[in-house]
């Protein structure tokens, strides 16, 4: 099966999916787009995803998958080894809760569409947009840090000593934070886990600076 990944090198959702594919050992053809230049608003791309969003995973049988978390769940269901979710129901619930904190509480408020709308509708300049971004990161990262630091289930990674779905979301978000020079020292457990993930080729190869169209 040939996979084509339509993505943007700096998109945190794209980083998530690149890391998941790498962890699963699945090769893919990289197709890069520039969100700022409107390349996902063309008729050709909208035929793949009418929402005009990345990532999109296209299979050689014509099936097109959208939404990073849904695609990752599809990967887990169809190619369960190595697993991205724990074997036990309680563990899966914890990992999903951690992942959703990042993917559902930070990303929807801080993506490019929202930052642009803040400028267009409310006149928010770059400094105001940055303050908005930092506020919502801190609101969730403070709670995320406590959730990790206070749980015996936290190991080398977010859940135990095998990287999974929560780590994928965390890794992508920390890279997004770096665009706004957010200091991670306030969250030592998060900082430690990110460093451990960044030492793994599957994650490092998914990092925004290491993509073929990074600029």
pLDDT tens-place values along the chain, 215 residues long: 899 999 999 999 999 999 999 999 999 999 999 998 999 999 999 999 999 999 999 999 999 999 999 999 999 999 999 999 999 999 999 999 999 999 999 999 999 999 999 999 999 999 999 999 999 999 999 999 999 999 999 999 999 999 999 999 999 999 999 999 999 999 999 999 999 999 999 999 999 999 999 87
User: Domain span at residue 141?
Assistant: 89-204
Asked if residue 130 and residue 39 are part of one domain, the reply reads no
Q: Which of 157, 144, 165, 161 is nearest to 197 (CA)?
A: 157
pLDDT value, residue 215: 74
Give the other-Cβ count within 10 Å of 44's Cβ: 8
Asked if residue 30 and residue 13 are part of one domain, the reply reads yes
Residue 34 lies in a domain: yes
Residue 213 lies in a domain: no
Asked if residue 50 and residue 103 are part of one domain, the reply reads no
Answer for the pair 66, 82: CB distance below 8 angstroms, yes or no: no
pLDDT value, residue 167: 99
Which of 48, 82, 116 is the endpoint of a domain? 82
Asked if residue 75 and residue 95 are part of one domain, the reply reads no
CATH number of the structural domain spanning residue 63:
3.40.30.10
How far from the centroid of its chain's Cα atoms is residue 61's Cα?
26
CA angle 198, 103, 39 (to 5 degrees): 85
The pTM of the whole model exceeds 0.95? yes
Asked if residue 130 and residue 60 are part of one domain, the reply reads no
Which of 53, 82, 111 is the endpoint of a domain? 82
pLDDT value, residue 1: 83
The number of domains in the chain is: 2
Which of 82, 108, 124 is the endpoint of a domain? 82
Answer for the pair 13, 215: CB distance below 8 angstroms, yes or no: no
Three-state SS string across the chain, please? CCEEEEECCCCHHHHHHHHHHHHCCCCCEEEECCCCCCCCCCHHHHHHCCCCCCCEEEECCCCEEECHHHHHHHHHHHCCCCCCCCCCHHHHHHHHHHHHHHHHHCHHHHCHHHHHHHHHHHCCCHHHHHHHHHHHHHHHHHHHHHHHHCCCCECCCCCECCCCHHHHHHHHHHHHHHCCCCCHHHCHHHHHHHHHHHCCHHHHCCCHHHCCCCC
CA quadruple 166, 204, 67, 34: dihedral sign: positive
Whole-angstrom distance, CA of residue 174 vs CA of residue 153: 21
């Amino acid at each position: 099966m040939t996979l084509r990944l339509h993505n943007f090198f700096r998109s945190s959702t794209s980083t998530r999916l690149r890391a998941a594919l790498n962890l699963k050992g699945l090769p893919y053809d990289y197709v890069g787009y520039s969100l700022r230049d409107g390349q996902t608003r063309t008729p050709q791309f909208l035929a793949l995803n009418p929402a005009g969003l990345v990532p999109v995973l296209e299979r050689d049988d014509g099936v097109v998958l959208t939404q990073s978390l849904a695609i990752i769940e599809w990967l887990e269901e169809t190619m369960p080894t190595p697993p991205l979710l724990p074997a036990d129901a309680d563990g899966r619930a914890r990992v999903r809760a951690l992942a959703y904190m990042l993917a559902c509480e930070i990303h929807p408020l801080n993506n490019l569409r929202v930052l642009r709308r803040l400028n267009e509708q409310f006149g928010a300049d770059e400094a105001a947009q940055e303050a908005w971004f930092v506020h919502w990161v801190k609101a969730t990262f403070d709670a995320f840090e406590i959730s990790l630091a206070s749980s015996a289930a936290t190991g080398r990674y977010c859940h135990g000593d095998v990287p999974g779905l929560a780590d994928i979301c965390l890794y992508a978000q920390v890279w997004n934070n770096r665009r706004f020079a957010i200091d991670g020292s306030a969250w030592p457990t998060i900082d430690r886990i990110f460093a451990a993930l960044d030492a793994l080729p599957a994650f490092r190869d998914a990092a925004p600076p290491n993509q073929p169209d990074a600029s």
